[in-house]
Amino acid sequence: MDRRRIILAVFFVALAVAALDVYSNGVEILDDFGRLLSVRFGPPHPGQTRWDAPVRMTLTEARPAAGAETLVLDNTQGYVEITGDDVDEIRVELELYAFTNGDPEEARRILEAYDIVLLPGRTTVQLSARQPEEPVPFDGIHHAVWRIVVPREMAVEVRTTPAVVNIAGVRGGIRAEGVGAQLFLQPAGAAAIDVSLALGGLLDIALPEEAANHSLHAVLNPGSLFVDAPGFESIRAGARETLTGAIGEGAHPLRIELIDSSGFVRIGK
């Protein structure tokens, strides 16, 4: 993910989570292949008041992939980065930030109620964050940053509300659903892609030139989609438009549904 895209992602997150000043004072590196739980609270930056300095907590966990074919990440907010790599396990880092009306102890109590949950199934691994049982007060605004590493051949499914999601380096296929989300997809190989976005979503798919081998079926209701390839058929009925055609030999399905959203499909860029 280049610097400009990171800046854009952070901007969208800031809008979605309503003006929380998020900062980071270090990098936590996961160097254990078992479960590792660490909690770190960063001090205020110079010039910050006790009220506006968020409390920070980092959770990390790793589990063997154990033959699982798909990682499913459900109901996320904030910023999500999923990267395929030459590993045989799933590594998760979750950074949380919160403040509660100038009461850092209350913010810590809220964050300590969170945990990473990895539920293995027959062919899938379900990933989520266990949240506090009691409602978080309005002035306890919180923000999440997910950094996830999976085996390169694993497929990924993400269902999200307002969030910025970056998925890169996977060959096993991508399925994503979002409301008001920004999705940046950079698959490492030719595989099925299925995306549904609604209510102001933004989609950016960058297909490697050597892996641009998809059959596109896009429904825009309404919406806009730019495809960096020629020869697509458009059928319009009122505000609904259907776009179909082949990218390369058209071997893998590329299904896109955009409702009041926009998107780009780029080849080799």
Q: What is the pLDDT of residues 219-261, one digit of tens each?
A: 999 999 999 999 899 999 999 999 999 999 999 999 999 999 9
Q: Are 127 and 61 in contact (CB under 8 A)?
A: no
Task: Please say if the pLDDT value at position 53 is more than 80.
Answer: no
Residue 126 has a pLDDT of 94
What confidence score (pLDDT) does residue 54 get? 80
Query: Using CA atoms in the order 115, 142, 21, 37, what is the torsion angle rounded to 10 degrees?
Result: -10
Q: What is the pLDDT of residue 87?
A: 97
Largest CA distance in the chain: 60
What is the SS3 assignment for 214?
A: strand
pLDDT category of residue 32 using cuts at 50, 70 and 90? very low
pLDDT tens figures, 159-208: 998 899 999 999 999 999 999 999 999 999 999 999 999 999 999 999 99
Spell out the residues 6+ positions from residue 7 whose beta carbon is closer than 8 angstroms to its own.
none
Ordered by start, the domain boundaries in the chain are 1-41, 49-267
In the numeric block, the tokens 């790599």 are attached to: 85
Q: Report angle CA 194, 196, 199 to the nearest 5 degrees.
A: 165
Indicate the pTM of the whole model: 0.80
Preceding peptide of 253 cis, ω within 30°: no
| Tokens matching residue 116 | 């990473």
SS3 (DSSP) at 70: strand
Predicted local distance difference test score (pLDDT) of residue 137: 63
Can you tell me the mean pLDDT for 123-134?
86
pLDDT the model gives residue 3: 43
What pLDDT, on a 0 to 100 scale, did the predictor assign at position 12?
46
Q: Convert the pLDDT of each residue in 74-113 to its tens digit.
A: 877 789 999 999 999 999 999 998 877 778 888 888 888 8
Average pLDDT of the chain to the nearest whole number: 81
User: In the chain, count of helices (H) and strands (E)?
Assistant: 2, 18
Query: What is the predicted pLDDT for the residue at 58?
Result: 95
**Does the pLDDT value for residue 50 go beyond 50?**
no
- How do beta strands 193-198 and 174-179 pair? parallel
The DSSP 8-state label assigned to residue 136 in this structure reads P
Dihedral of the CA atoms 61, 1, 251, 267 (nearest 10)? Answer: 180
